[in-house]
Amino acid sequence: MIKIARENSKRAKVSVDFTCADFQTLPVNTVQSYVISNLPYGERMDANILKQINILRDKFPNACYYLLHPSEDFEQFFGRAEKKIRFQNSGIWTFLYMYYKK
């Protein structure tokens, strides 16, 4: 999927850094960023991911976040989203949680 995303950004003539990594091991990035992720859930879900998700705020303090996850409890762990959209993703009802940098 990363390869396809890189090809699409190249065709669109935009510069985007795509990374597939464990968010806990990422270095701190203080540059204005956009974090977009389809977080693991369902059969792929690590039971502790929601308890650890707030680490992203420490890793990207100046970021806007667009995070996909089906849990209605997600905001208890990451904070109240400015906007939330519910839709089906591969047959699973999920939410797009949007957090904008103030």
pLDDT digits (tens, 9 = 90+) for 13-34: 998 888 888 888 889 999 999 9
Could you tell me if residue 9 is inside a domain? no
Could you tell me if residue 16 is inside a domain? no
Owning domain of residue 72: 23-99
Could you tell me if residue 52 is inside a domain? yes
Question: Structurally, how many domains does the chain consist of?
Answer: 1
pTM of the predicted model as reported, rounded to 2 decimal places = 0.82
pLDDT digits (tens, 9 = 90+) for 59-85: 999 999 999 999 888 999 999 999 999
Considering only residues 25 and 101, tell me which one the structure prediction assigns the higher pLDDT. Answer: 25
> CB–CB of 98/66 below 8 Å?
yes
Q: Residue 36 belongs to a domain with what CATH number?
A: 3.40.50.150
Could you tell me if residue 12 is inside a domain? no
Burial 4-23 (b: 16+ CB within 10 A, else e): eeeeeeeeeeeeeeeeeeeb
